[in-house]
Structure 1
Amino acid sequence: MTTSADHDSYIAAAPEVFQPSLRRLRALLSRTLPEAEEIVAYDMPGFAVDGSVVASYAAFSKQCGLYVLPGAITAHADEIAAAGLQATKTGITFSPRRPIPDDLVERLASASRHTAGA
């Protein structure tokens, strides 16, 4: 994907199959992190609180990703595995057919926000 200046243009430039998932993530993160500023960093749309990026998302050729701080992934590793999702130290990849459950997105974003504030 090309570099985007804001969330709207990033989502519009993403493969069409991923756009509903990206819009859903944006809405969930925005609601869960109401004090956060929408930013684009490292060519990904994200949410920053007090200058720290606490959550971001991206679309790739075959999947999407949600990225949070490592402590949030660690704290919810069992839930991530139970949902059948793959995680790295800072991210979870998913497809539109197997999205991250909304409540897990909210818990991950909250945990990431708490980790950033610690």
Structure 2
Amino acid sequence: MPVAKNIDEYISAFPSNVQKLLKQMRSTIKKAAPQAAETISYAMPTFTLNGNLVHFAGYKNHIGFYPAPSGIEAFKKELSVYAGAKGSVQFPLDKPLPLELITKIVAFRVAENMEKALKKTSKQSTKKAAAAETGKSKQQKALLQNNFLSMLPAPARRALESNGINSLKKLSQLTEKAVLSFHGMGPSSIPKLKEALQAEGLSFKK
């Protein structure tokens, strides 16, 4: 049988008695997951909501329902009366569909997919925040590296400039005592210079 383009086309290919059950299945899923989208996937009617939600399909002797292994596991006691596998269950054509149970399973899958989506969003937000913080930190370090002289009082700044100290790397090649000996350099500027050096993993020469 050719793959159907949509669920209506899929259902119409079956005998009337099977169509009735497939329509019931479709309607029940739609009510339990009104925000889910319909599609055909794996050649079966499929509902998606933050990923695959459930599939269902018609067969010669049963209606197949595929709520993922987690959906089967969560309701294994109620589903134990039906044939099935790890991620599927078979509802016989000669018995009414357990619509209330199907509704519960779909609701479970909706909640499960929503939780996964929230965790994914939270994880992505955390990564973005971390990346932004890293970028901010790098910018701050670059600013400190380029503008450490601007943090100093004018006399201290001129003292360093007149001695050719225009970078933290050059500053780290001097002892604290040597810097203090510069004309115009006061003790109050030393803590600021140490902070700038430490931000770059540097220090005064010992």
**2:21 and 2:97 in contact (8 A); partners too:** no
After superposition, the C-alpha distances for 1:41-90 in whole angstroms (9 at most, x for unaligned) are: 0100110012x111111012222201112111101000112xx2112111
- Specify the code of the residue in structure 2 equivalent to 1:108: I
Indicate the SS of the match to 2:29.
Answer: helix
Q: Mark the CA change 1:36 to 1:28 in structure 2 (over 3 Å): closer, same or farther.
A: same
**Residue 64 of structure 2 contacts residue 89 of structure 2 at CA under 8 Å; is this kept in 1?**
yes
Residues in 2 aligned to 1:112 and 1:43: alpha-carbon distance in whole angstroms: 21
Query: Per the alignment, in what secondary structure is the counterpart of residue 55 of structure 2?
Result: strand
Q: 2:23 — aligned with what?
A: 23
Whether 2:11 is the aligned partner of 1:14: answer: no
Do residues 91 (structure 1) and 85 (structure 2) align? Answer: no
- The match for 2:113 is 116
Q: Normalized against structure 2, the TM-score is what?
A: 0.53
SS of aligned partner of 2:35: coil
Measure the CA separation in 2 of the matches of 1:99 and 1:78.
19
How many residue pairs are counted as aligned between the two chains? 115
| Residue 75 (structure 2) pairs with residue 76 (structure 1) | yes
Residue 57 (structure 2) aligns with: 58
Letter in 2 for 1:57: F
Find the residue that maps to 1:22 and give its secondary structure.
helix
Contact 1:54 1:116 in 2 (8 A): yes
Structure 1 runs, 4 residues or longer, greater than 3 Å off: none
- Which residue in 2 is equivalent to 1:38? 38
CA contact (8 A) 1:71 1:111 kept: no
Cα 1:77–1:100 change in 2 (3 A) is: farther
Deviation at residue 110 of structure 1 after TM alignment: 1.1
Instruction: Return closer, same or farther for 1:111/1:30 CA change in 2, 3 Å cut-off.
Output: same
Structure with the higher helix share, 1 or 2: 2
Give the superposition deviation at 1:95: 1.8
Quote the residue 2:66 is aligned against. Answer: 67
Q: Which amino acid aligns with 2:40?
A: V
Amino acid of the structure 2 residue aligned with 1:72? G
Please list every run of 5 or more consecutive structure 1 residues that lacks an aligned counterpart in the other structure.
none
Rounded to whole Å, the distance in 1 between the matches of 2:85 and 2:70 is: 12
Q: Which residue of 2 aligns with 1:5?
A: 5
Q: Retained in 2: the 8 A contact 1:28–1:106?
A: yes
Question: RCO greater where, 1 or 2, for CA within 8 Å and sep 6 or more?
Answer: 1
